[in-house]
Chains A and B, each alone.
Chain A
Amino acid sequence: MRCARLWGVAAVAFLAAPAVAAESCGYGTKIDFVDTPKQAAAIAKKEQKLVMVLHVSGHFEDPGLT
């Protein structure tokens, strides 16, 4: 039941796509990053979006990478 409700919420996410929350940084990319995945999840739920989590390891300065 809870799952059904969640996906009902997610369904609306694809119809409305408002601007991303405040206090986000790009770090030289075109993506707006918030500080933690937890924060991203909360905003995504509120704004009815999906979450993208980038896992970065080490120093991978490769122009083709990110």
Chain B
Amino acid sequence: MGALNNPAVGKYVNEFFVSSYQKVATFQIVNGNKQGGNVAAYFCAPDGRVLHCVAGPVNAQTFLREAKWVVETAKECIEKSKGDGAKFKELFRKAHSAKLKQDFGIVVEAITYDPPDPMDEKDALTYRDPTGRPLAPKLPPPPIDGPDVTLGEKKFEELQKAAATAPGNRIALDGKGRKVVVTNQSLVHQIMAAHSLVPIERVYGTVFENILGEKISTKPVNVVQPFTWVDKDGNRLKPVKPLPPGGIKPVKPLLPPNGPVPPNGLAPIKP
């Protein structure tokens, strides 16, 4: 337990957030076998609209930095928006765009208009989970305009080298077809520059599938415990032993068999 077990992270998160968890059924196919396991932390407004997200495993320092950024940015945007919800959304998306430019040297224009949702929940062609509910849509990220020209080539290269060692690093193409190194966290800012302040049920699919690269098989469900290998107090649970390769050996009967049953069946018991 790294980031969430850090005392500074715990203190800060407990001070400014009320935390909960859900189970998301995902899987990856590796060599023909189903594998799965990942995590995403969503920082939301009390009505469930996502302000920011930490996708995948990160260290305590990164987690704390992102949590503090949400709180500070929300404070700033609340102050500037003066109670206007639409203005708050616009400012928050622009803040994500600015953060992406500052931390990764990547320029993305914040999208402040939400077009009507093309996916109709009642459409017969909409893919649904086994409970009949449609899965979360895959929200398109805003296109990358390119590197921040104010940085200079050397500084941008430094940021790209740092990104190449970060979790989830991969190559993406900008608007002009140039290669740019993106990471899990830069992709979060890119998506949030267009989709922050959107309900969590519309965002989680994009985070798990487009950023973490895992397929989702059902909507998130509430579970008794988030971490299956520890109990509520954090005590490690014993793993269930796998079956031996040959299967379970037959148990010898305690009593000798009475012989075959006659073709006419068993004789009735005489009183």
Chain A residues at the B interface, C-beta cutoff of 8 Å: 3-11, 13-14, 17, 20-21, 24-37, 39-41, 43-45, 47, 49-66
CA distance A40 to B200 in the complex (A): 14
A59 with B85: in contact, given A29-B5, A54-B41 (CB under 8 Å)? Answer: no
Contact A34 B220 (CB under 8 A): no
CA distance A30 to B15 in the complex (A): 12
Q: Which residue from chain B places its CB closest to the CB of A47 in the assembled complex?
A: B18
Contact B208 A58 (CB under 8 A): no
A52 with B45: in contact, given A7-B85, A27-B234, A28-B233 (CB under 8 Å)? Answer: no
- Closest Cβ of chain A to B197, distance in Å, is 10
Residue in A25, A34, A36 whose CB lies within 8 Å of B232: A25
CA distance A59 to B5 in the complex (A): 18
Contact B41 A51 (CB under 8 A): no
CA distance A9 to B70 in the complex (A): 17
Contact B19 A40 (CB under 8 A): yes
Instruction: Please tell me if B11 contacts chain A, counting CB pairs below 8 Å.
Output: yes
Instruction: Please tell me if B260 contacts chain A, counting CB pairs below 8 Å.
Output: no
* B residues contacting the other copy or chain, number (CB 8 A): 73
Contact B22 A28 (CB under 8 A): no
CA distance A66 to B13 in the complex (A): 14
Chain B residues at the A interface, C-beta cutoff of 8 Å: 1-7, 9-11, 13-27, 35-48, 51, 57, 59, 67, 70-71, 74-75, 78-79, 81, 83-86, 88, 200, 204, 207-208, 214, 220, 222, 225-235
Contact A31 B75 (CB under 8 A): no
CA distance A32 to B5 in the complex (A): 11
Contact A7 B83 (CB under 8 A): yes
- Chain A residues with CB under 8 Å of B47's CB are 6, 41
CA distance A61 to B14 in the complex (A): 23
- Closest Cβ of chain A to B195, distance in Å, is 16
Contact A65 B57 (CB under 8 A): yes
Contact A51 B17 (CB under 8 A): yes
Contact B57 A66 (CB under 8 A): yes
